[in-house]
């Protein structure tokens, strides 16, 4: 029987160690989700953390654009939280 050896993947965002054991990590900025389908329908998706997404948006569109978006999004977030609270059950 062969022992499991962690695999290292390199990508533009990070170097990931794939292990069979749970590891608590605070420095991961992205994750790969893999789905195996029937008949060859396989897919892989890249999921970024919110902080990494904001960093990429700031680099592409600039600090002022991101600040304008955050200001405009404040009202949307307040409406979302209000609606969320309205539908939560009261125990």
Sign of the C-alpha dihedral computed for residues 26, 48, 37 and 4 taken in this order: negative
What distance lies between CA 15 and its chain's CA centroid?
16
**What pTM did the predictor assign?**
0.54
3-state secondary structure (DSSP) of residue 39: helix
Chunked mean pLDDT (size 10), the chain, 91 residues: 48 58 81 85 90 93 93 86 73 65
**Structural domain boundaries in the chain:** 7-48, 50-87
């Amino acid at each position: 029987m062969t022992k499991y050896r962690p695999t290292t993947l390199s990508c533009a965002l990070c170097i990931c160690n794939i292990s069979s054991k749970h590891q608590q990590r605070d420095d991961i900025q992205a994750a790969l989700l893999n789905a195996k389908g029937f008949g060859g329908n396989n897919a892989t998706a890249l999921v970024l953390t919110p902080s990494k997404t904001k960093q990429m948006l700031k680099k592409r569109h600039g600090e002022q654009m991101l600040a304008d978006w955050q200001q405009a999004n404040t009202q949307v977030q307040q409406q979302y939280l209000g609606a969320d609270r309205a539908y939560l059950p009261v125990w």
